[in-house]
């Protein structure tokens, strides 16, 4: 029980202590900590690596009434400005080190908020020369241009590139390029340039296991060969869903909402609905290229729709 006499005696004793010397306040650092976050999936260590963020807005999401979109965002405490993470992932199986997607590299088209993946990779204690393979979910610039140095050479000198065969063929198809609208042609140039230094060590794969415990699964629509990576170790699983989700609030509440850079919005929506239904039913942990860093969480069913619940930060591996 609170004892007023003891409290007053303690306060009086404290008043007789010598005054402590004044201390200057710590200066502002004007810098953020490295964008690194690790999580264990069974015996596999997964490290999220932040490349930065793209300053998107609600107008980048298509197929729903703008008033409804605004209301969904407001219900989650969000406005129409949607800074969107760009995440890559290191998958360390003890035997080999894989990098899943690479960020934008030296491509300046995304602005000054991007291009931090290599610095964060090194801050995580990983030299690009230690990467055994780069697994691409697809070949858009914010996923593949980090393959290059500023001199357009291979940033990962010892790595093979693993990519879905349909994805690779699409970006290298001259007939498709000839029919592409002018605004889409830079994407073809980007994919071809990023992959060129790895031509002799590119493994073009069908859906299925690409390494022990790692499987690429086709989820087309965003691009024709867009894929997710399923990581399995013992009873634990993680789904790296790539660009299946661009905004975890909008596209779980309304999986039919497309993204402006989806090549086939309806197909992307069908793929998203299938993935959301699967991970919600199975309780599988997910993360993604554009879910707010580090992106780990679970999807729950919410009536006829879904909702994303971020995982708690873990401190022990």
Cα-flanking dihedrals φ and ψ of residue 281, to 5°?
A: -70, -35
Residue with tokens 């914010």: 142
Cα separation, 244 vs 240, whole angstroms: 9
What are the tens digits of pLDDT across the range 211-242?
A: 999 999 999 999 999 999 999 999 999 999 99
- In this model, does residue 11 exceed pLDDT 80? no
Between strands 44-57 and 81-92, the pairing is antiparallel
Establish whether the linkage from the previous residue to 66 is cis, with ω within 30° of 0. Answer: no
What 228-231 contacts at long range (C-beta under 8 Å, 24+ apart), as own/partner pairs, is: 228/137, 228/275, 229/91, 229/100, 229/135, 229/137, 231/41, 231/44, 231/46, 231/91
Q: Are 86 and 51 in contact (CB under 8 A)?
A: yes
Q: What are the residues whose beta carbons fall under 8 Å from the beta carbon of 72, sequence distance 6 or more?
A: 249, 250, 253, 254
Share of residues in the chain with pLDDT > 70 (%): 93
Between strands 133-135 and 160-164, the pairing is parallel
Helix/strand/coil for 183:
helix
| Average pLDDT over every residue of 66-79 | 94
Q: Label residue 49 by pLDDT band (50, 70, 90).
A: very high
- In this model, does residue 58 exceed pLDDT 70? yes
Q: Nearest CA to 250 among 87, 51, 65? A: 65
Cα-flanking dihedrals φ and ψ of residue 96, to 5°?
A: -145, 160
Q: Label residue 17 by pLDDT band (50, 70, 90).
A: low
Cα separation, 222 vs 278, whole angstroms: 19
Cα separation, 184 vs 142, whole angstroms: 15
Q: Are 226 and 269 in contact (CB under 8 A)?
A: no
Q: Label residue 31 by pLDDT band (50, 70, 90).
A: confident
pLDDT value for 28: 85
Q: Are 101 and 89 in contact (CB under 8 A)?
A: yes
pTM > 0.85: yes
pLDDT value for 16: 61
């Amino acid at each position: 029980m609170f004892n007023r006499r003891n409290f007053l005696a303690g306060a009086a004793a404290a008043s007789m202590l010598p005054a402590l010397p004044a201390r200057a306040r710590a200066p502002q650092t004007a810098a953020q900590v490295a964008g690194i976050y690790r999580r264990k999936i069974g015996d596999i260590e997964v490290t999220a690596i932040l490349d930065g963020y793209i300053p998107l807005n609600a107008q980048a999401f298509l197929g729903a009434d703008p008033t409804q979109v605004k209301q969904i965002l407001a219900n989650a405490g969000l406005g129409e400005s949607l800074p969107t993470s760009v995440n890559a992932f290191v998958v360390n199986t003890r035997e080999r080190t894989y990098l899943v997607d690479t960020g934008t590299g030296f491509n300046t088209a995304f602005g000054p908020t991007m291009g931090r993946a290599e610095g964060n990779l090194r801050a995580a204690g990983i030299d690009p020369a230690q990467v055994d393979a780069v697994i691409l979910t697809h070949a858009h610039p914010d996923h593949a241009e980090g393959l290059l140095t500023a001199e357009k050479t291979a940033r990962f000198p010892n790595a093979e590139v693993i990519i879905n065969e349909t994805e690779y063929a699409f970006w290298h198809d001259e007939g498709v390029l000839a029919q592409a609208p002018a605004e889409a042609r830079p994407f073809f140039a980007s994919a071809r340039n990023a992959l060129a230094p790895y031509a002799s060590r590119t493994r073009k794969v069908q859906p299925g296991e690409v390494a022990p415990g790692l499987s690429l699964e086709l989820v087309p629509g965003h691009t024709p060969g867009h894929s997710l990576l399923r990581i399995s170790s013992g009873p634990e699983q993680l789904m790296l869903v790539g660009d299946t989700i661009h905004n975890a609030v909008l596209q779980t509440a309304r999986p039919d909402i497309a993204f402006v850079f989806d090549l086939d919005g309806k197909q992307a929506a069908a793929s998203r609905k299938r993935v959301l239904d699967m991970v919600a039913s199975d309780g599988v942990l997910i993360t993604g290229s554009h879910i707010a860093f580090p992106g780990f969480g679970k999807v729950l069913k919410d009536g006829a729709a879904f909702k994303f619940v971020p995982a708690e930060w873990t401190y022990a591996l």
